[in-house]
Amino acid sequence: MPIRQYKPNTPGQRFRAGSTFSELTRAEGRNQPVDPHKPLLAPLKHSGGRNNKGRITSRFRGGGHKRMYRIVDFKRNRYDDPATVLTIEYDPNRSCRISLIEFADGEKRYILTPIGLKEGDTVISSDTADIRPGNSLPLRAIPVGTIIHNIEMYLGKGGQLVRAAGVGAQLMAKEGKYAQIRLPSGETRLVLLTCHASIGQVGNPEHENESFGKAGKSRWLGRRPHVRGVAMTPRDHPHGGGEAQSPIGRKAGPATPWGKPALGAKTRHNKATDKFIVRRRGRK
């Protein structure tokens, strides 16, 4: 999965760096990636950052390329039923690659592709599965020190943690009915031993080395220009106003357009789940 540097035929290509997509499965007879499995596609509607009243609730969103959603199996709930990896495909809705797997009865599903998983490999979700990339097991059956991804927070809800390209969590310890997991952010969190996780590090680790090269690439992804508060007027933002370039300069500190603390201020207020966090992220 190397990164490709573009020959600068245009100014936008001078600093652009993107994936070669060499790991994707190619269609027979043509040098193009295989088409997605149509029964596992769903329409994906773009909101443009607007709520059901048509009001913008998430700024700087809109436009972007049309794309279909790939229905990914985060639950991995076909237990003790091996499946074969048919293809490795691109997913426009996430940074990692996805794999199309087929069970013995012909059912097909998409799963996240970890590093080391190839076409023709066999994956399984089982309490007694081997510790191999792509297999899914409950945390109680995974050895301490193993790198895992697609981790459930609640039994049966499906994996919610560690799903981005190149990331991996480590199972640190097992105490009582909980497992201690060190997440990619540095946070150490308690998760029930009955919850499932997949083995291995998520694939496409070179994603972090990609460079857009031009503003248009952000527009393809549905990201509109992000305007700084200090560039606005005082009526539009608390940071606005002043002659020429001015610092934020508020006694109350940086704020959102609506006056709430921003730029590093703590926003987590969930006392119900604080007890599951053993070590906060960013702490040394």
Q: Do the Cβ atoms of 73 and 116 come closer than 8 Å?
A: no
Residue 214 pLDDT greater than 80, yes or no: yes
- What does the angle CA 246 – CA 248 – CA 254 come to, to the nearest 5 degrees? 165
Q: Which amino acid is at 38?
A: K
Query: pLDDT over 90 for what percent of the chain?
Result: 93
Model pLDDT, residue 1: 64
Residue 26 pLDDT greater than 80, yes or no: yes
Model pLDDT, residue 28: 86
Model pLDDT, residue 266: 87
In a domain, 223, yes or no: no
Question: Which CATH number goes with the domain that contains 34?
Answer: 2.40.50.140
In a domain, 281, yes or no: no
Band (pLDDT 50/70/90 cuts) for residue 211 is very high
Residue 274 pLDDT greater than 70, yes or no: yes
Model pLDDT, residue 180: 98
Residues 143 and 153: their CA atoms lie apart, in Å, by 19
User: What is the arithmetic mean of pLDDT over 255-281?
Assistant: 92
Residue 284 pLDDT greater than 70, yes or no: no
In a domain, 251, yes or no: no
Q: Which amino acid is at 79?
A: Y
What are the C-alpha distances in Å from 41 to residues 63, 86, 87, 208?
21, 17, 15, 27
Q: Do the Cβ atoms of 53 and 129 come closer than 8 Å?
A: no
In a domain, 267, yes or no: no
Residue 93 pLDDT greater than 80, yes or no: yes
| Number of domains the chain contains | 1
Query: Environment class of residue 277 by beta-carbon count within 10 Å: exposed (0-12), middle (13-18) or buried (19+)?
Result: middle
Model pLDDT, residue 275: 95
Pairing of strands 169-175, 147-149: antiparallel
Domain that holds residue 12: 3-209
In a domain, 29, yes or no: yes
Residue 31 pLDDT greater than 90, yes or no: no
Close Cβ partners of 146 (under 8 Å, ≥ 6 residues apart): 131, 170, 171, 199
In a domain, 229, yes or no: no
Band (pLDDT 50/70/90 cuts) for residue 283 is low
In a domain, 219, yes or no: no
In a domain, 198, yes or no: yes
Q: In the predicted model, what is the mean pLDDT of the chain? A: 95
Residue 75 pLDDT greater than 60, yes or no: yes
